[in-house]
């Protein structure tokens, strides 16, 4: 099942894809894609619907972030050995954890703002997942039971803000539009193995990243269990899991994004995104 949210920013309505890939309006069934709707029971109720009985979403409607009410967005750094190497860093002995402000979340095809003073705007295609059931001190074996589903994320980063402005990475990760997610939330029953998903990203039509979640150092189940030892994960929380090699800062010489550039990315089975860079 593929769930989505559609409509103008700040006024999105819930929806789902039917078997033909058409968007259907769920607003007469649930208030939003959040909270209890993300539980196994809530998802089962949506799965039992006949999408053909739901109204079609108007043609050309904007697609928003597929999850509402996000309490926290947690990101994992240096989680691909080959990406750590291009960054000149060692694979960490434990996951590197940082936060992205929830105000950075936007739709998959919304424009990406280049912040004022930015000179090192970068891209990162990532697998993200959404918590569906509260997780506190869960084991790795039971971890995936707490995942509602998976989605595509571009962990947009301003490298100068991230690494040269002192303090933690969050400053380079949290500008408005720095977390395009979606287009869909793909429920976990449709993802046989989250550690076997091809992924790609291009800039102005030129391939930059090509990888697979198979090369993640710390997989989804491990991350749920690990994070739940430090903080309670609540329904709607998003975890984005790191990126394969091919980011701009790793090139020789480095290459960064400018106004007018177009970034496109995708993960097999989870859809694709497109963002044009605009001035903030």
Torsion of CA 94, 246, 151, 183, to 10 degrees: 160
State the Cα–Cα distance between residues 120 and 200, nearest whole angstrom: 21
**10-residue stretch averages of pLDDT, the chain, 280 residues long:** 97 97 97 98 97 96 98 95 78 93 98 97 98 98 98 97 90 97 98 97 98 95 98 98 95 96 98 98
Non-local (6+) Cβ contacts of 136 within 8 A are 228, 232, 233
Q: Are 33 and 3 in contact (CB under 8 A)?
A: yes
Q: What are 74's two structure tokens?
A: 């947690």
Q: By the 8 A CB rule, do 97 and 227 touch?
A: yes
- Joined together, the tokens standing for residue 108 give 């998959």
> Of 239, 228, 14, which is closest to residue 131 (Cα–Cα)?
239
Number of Cβ within a 10 Å radius of residue 95: 18
Question: Alpha-carbon distance 165 to 175, whole Å?
Answer: 14
What per-residue confidence (pLDDT) applies to 89? Answer: 76
Task: Show me where the domains of the chain are located.
Answer: 64-279
Distance between CA atoms of residues 135 and 114, nearest Å: 35
pLDDT at position 4, please? 98
* Sign (positive or negative) of CA dihedral 185, 190, 193, 199: negative
Q: How far apart are CA 80 and CA 217, in angstroms?
A: 6
List alpha helices for 145-238, DSSP H. 159-163, 220-227
Q: Is the dihedral of CA 21, 28, 32, 5 positive or negative?
A: positive
For position 90, what pLDDT does the model report?
Answer: 81
CA-CA distances (angstroms) from residue 266 to 160, 211, 218? 26, 11, 21
Question: CA 201, 215, 264: angle at the middle one, nearest 5?
Answer: 10
Structure tokens at 119: 């000179």
CATH code of domain 64-279: 3.90.850.10
């Amino acid at each position: 099942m593929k769930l989505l949210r559609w409509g103008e920013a700040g006024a999105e309505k819930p929806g789902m894809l039917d078997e033909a890939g058409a968007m259907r309006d769920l607003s007469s069934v649930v208030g939003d894609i959040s909270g209890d709707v993300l539980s196994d029971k809530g998802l089962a109720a949506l799965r039992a619907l006949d999408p053909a009985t739901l109204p079609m979403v108007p043609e050309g409607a904007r697609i928003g972030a597929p999850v509402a009410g996000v309490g926290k967005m947690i990101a994992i750094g240096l989680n691909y050995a080959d990406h750590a190497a291009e960054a000149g860093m060692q694979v960490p002995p434990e996951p590197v954890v940082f936060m992205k402000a929830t105000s950075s979340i936007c739709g998959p095809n919304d424009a990406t703002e280049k912040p004022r003073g930015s000179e090192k705007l970068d891209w990162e295609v990532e697998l993200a997942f959404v918590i569906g059931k509260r997780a506190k001190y869960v084991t790795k074996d039971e971890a995936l039971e707490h995942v509602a589903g998976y989605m595509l994320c571009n962990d947009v980063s301003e490298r100068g803000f991230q690494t040269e402005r002192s303090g933690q990475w969050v400053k380079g990760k949290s500008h408005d539009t720095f977390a395009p997610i979606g287009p869909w939330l793909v429920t976990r029953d449709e993802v046989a193995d989250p550690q076997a998903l091809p992924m790609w990203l291009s800039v102005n039509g030129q391939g930059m990243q090509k990888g697979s979640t198979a090369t993640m150092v710390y997989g989804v189940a491990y991350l749920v269990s690990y994070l739940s030892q430090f903080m309670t994960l609540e329904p709607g929380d998003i975890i984005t899991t790191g990126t394969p090699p091919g980011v701009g800062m790793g090139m020789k010489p480095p290459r960064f994004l400018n106004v007018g550039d177009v970034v496109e990315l995708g993960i097999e089975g989870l859809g694709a995104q497109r963002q044009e860079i605009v001035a903030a």
